[in-house]
Each structure stands twice: as structure tokens, then as C-alpha cells.
Amino acid sequence: MLTPRWSPGETVLLQEVWRGRVWAARPVTVVRDDLETLALWLPRGTRWKVPTPPADAPDGPRGERLARTAVRGDWVFRDEEWPVSTLWLMREGDWHALWFSWHADGSPWGWYVNLQEPFRRARQALATMDCVLDVVVGPDGTWQWKDEDELAAWVAAGAIAPALAERLREEGLRVARRAERGAPPFAGRWPEWRPDPAWPLPVLPADWDSPCR
């Protein structure tokens, strides 16, 4: 089977899939799709589907509630608007995506390393799964972990194995070291990129909750 390649301006569905069921869904616009990089555009105001525990779920810290929800498979969805315009940079086989975001006034928010499962493609969609732990990178290349407590909650609930948690830390550290060195794309031209002003907000398709094949 040929690997799908998409053209700039196309809308594709980006899903997070947990144990065969959609966990989150975002419509995104293709910026670039070649052997080097899959670049996607998620503009501010895009509506997407967010997993949330059901109303009768036990209370507690966010990480613990979501971990219990994932293990039990009883999440529901709510609609949200994406708060900042974000460029996603991904490569085949990587356990992370690099995000670069801008505030509403066009000023840079900065880099974010989203640790996630390697993505897989379908005809007009791609699937991954967020792995909870993240890295926030400052303009000067300094960095810090984000959501370490939530990762610990997922490990404690049995949703993420300790060995995977260690792999995620190694992956995050490897990317953070690249940021410290100013290696691409952290020192590249992506922060200067701007979307085609004719591109509309991407919209979720009707079958957003069907896991891509």
C-alpha cells in the first residue's frame, strides 16, 4: 500500500487513539508533507474534541482522574477551541512532535515538545497518542519538564508502563539537548513561517470518532 502524502492546504484529521478508541480529535491543515517533515497548522479558534471523565467520576487531581478514565475506558468528549495558533512538526517514527505557537497578537509563544506515540497514516487522517509528559523550551534554549506529576499518575494507575515512562524521559531529554545546542529546527526558519491567509479554520469531519485505518 502506498503511504498517503498530502498537499499544502488540505485538511486532515489528527486523532489520539487509546486502546482502539478515539481519545481526542483535531482537524489540522497540511503545511508540508515530504520525506523529511510532516508540518501541520492548528490555528487559534479551531474546535476540537477533548476527553474528559464522566460527571459521576471521583474527584481528584487532573492527572489521576484522566488516568483512571483511560484505564476504565469511560471518558466522554467536550468541545474546546484551540487557544494559540500552533505549527506541528513531526517525523516518521519519532516519539514526539515539536510545536511552535504564536499568541493572538502574532508574538511567539515558543517551543513545546509533545511526547507521543509515532504517528501512523490513513487516507485522510493520522493517529497517535499523547504520552502525558512534555518539555517546554524557552527562547534561549533553556527547558523544563511539564506534567511530571500526571505521568506519575498514569504509571501508578497502570496506564503507562514504567519502562515506557523511562523511554519518554530519554526521548524528552534527547530533544531538550538539541534545543540547548540550537540544533534544527530550534535554530531554523520555522518561527518566521506564516500560513496562507486564504486558509479557513479547519473543521472536524462527521466521522471524527471513527479510529483511522
> For 42-75, how does the pLDDT look when each residue is reduced to its tens digit (9 = 90+)?
999 999 999 999 888 888 999 999 999 999 999 9
Looking at the predicted structure, is the pLDDT value of residue 4 above 70?
no
Domain boundaries, given as residue ranges, for the chain: 11-192
What residues contact residue 209 under an 8 Å CB cut-off, 6+ apart?
Answer: 22, 25, 49, 77
Tell me the per-residue pLDDT of 166-182, one tens digit each, with 9 for 90 and over: 999 999 999 999 999 99
* pTM: predicted TM-score of the whole model, two decimal places: 0.94
Q: Is the pLDDT of residue 132 over 50?
A: yes
Fold for the domain defined by 11-192: FomD barrel-like fold (2.40.380)
Which one has a higher pLDDT value, 84 or 58? 84
pLDDT, mean of residues 190-209: 96
Q: Percent of the chain scored above 90 by pLDDT? A: 89
